[in-house]
């Protein structure tokens, strides 16, 4: 496997981990130390290279910390859909993807393609079409905005974890 393909695969798996952890937070309501413990437990159960863990943690923490900027973008783009009425998996995928669009580190086409893959895998074909429509509208809104609410580089750094969090 080429190094580029390996890196793409690792980032894809990192997105899967971030999705599962954000879903766990959404359904279980874990915050603070409880969320930190859930993250540590996840990596014990699903060992992964440091780069994948760092990427997943960055996505998780970024989506959580920027949620007040992310949710209005999703609600505006999702005509006639309140966040509370969306399937939890779809809402979680959208939050992760919109965070990545705001962070502007990964090309938008890649972010959307990855979100569609997650939706097909964890939700279904109908959800993939819904996620595609919402993310395309968010992407267009960000491109058309004279002052898009992009995240600063400091906003995309993960929270430091205690030494015992590294399995």
**Three-state secondary structure along 76-139?**
HHCCCCCHHHCCHHHHHHHHHHHHHHHHCCCCHHHHHHHHHHHHHHHCCHHHHHHHHHHHHHHH
Q: Please report, in tens digits, the pLDDT of each residue of the chain (167 residues total).
A: 566 667 778 899 999 999 999 999 988 887 788 888 889 999 999 999 999 999 999 999 999 999 999 999 999 999 888 998 999 999 999 999 999 999 988 899 999 999 999 999 999 889 999 999 999 999 999 988 766 566 654 344 443 343 443 33
Specify the residue for token string 């595609």.
132
d(CA 106, CA 102): 10
* CATH annotation of 3-165: 1.10.940.10
Taking residue 63's Cβ as centre, other Cβ atoms within 10 Å add up to 25
d(CA 132, CA 115) in angstroms, rounded, equals: 8
Distance CA 75, CA 81 (A): 7
What is the domain partition of the chain in residue ranges? 3-165
Give pTM, 2 decimals.
0.84
């Amino acid at each position: 496997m080429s190094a580029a393909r390996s890196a793409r695969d690792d980032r894809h798996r990192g997105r899967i981990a971030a999705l599962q952890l954000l879903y766990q937070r959404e359904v279980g309501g874990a915050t603070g130390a409880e969320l930190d413990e859930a993250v540590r437990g996840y990596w014990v159960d699903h060992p992964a290279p440091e780069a994948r863990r760092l990427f997943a943690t960055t996505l998780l923490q970024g989506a959580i910390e920027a949620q007040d900027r992310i949710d209005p973008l999703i609600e505006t783009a999702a005509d006639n859909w309140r966040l509370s009425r969306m399937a939890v998996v779809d809402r979680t995928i959208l939050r992760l993807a919109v965070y990545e669009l705001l962070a502007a580190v990964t090309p938008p086409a890649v972010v959307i393609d990855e979100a569609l893959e997650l939706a097909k895998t964890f939700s279904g074909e109908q959800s993939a079409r819904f996620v595609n429509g919402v993310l395309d509208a968010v992407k267009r809104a960000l491109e058309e905005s004279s002052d898009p609410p992009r995240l600063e580089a400091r906003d995309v750094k993960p929270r430091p974890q205690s030494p015992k969090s590294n399995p």
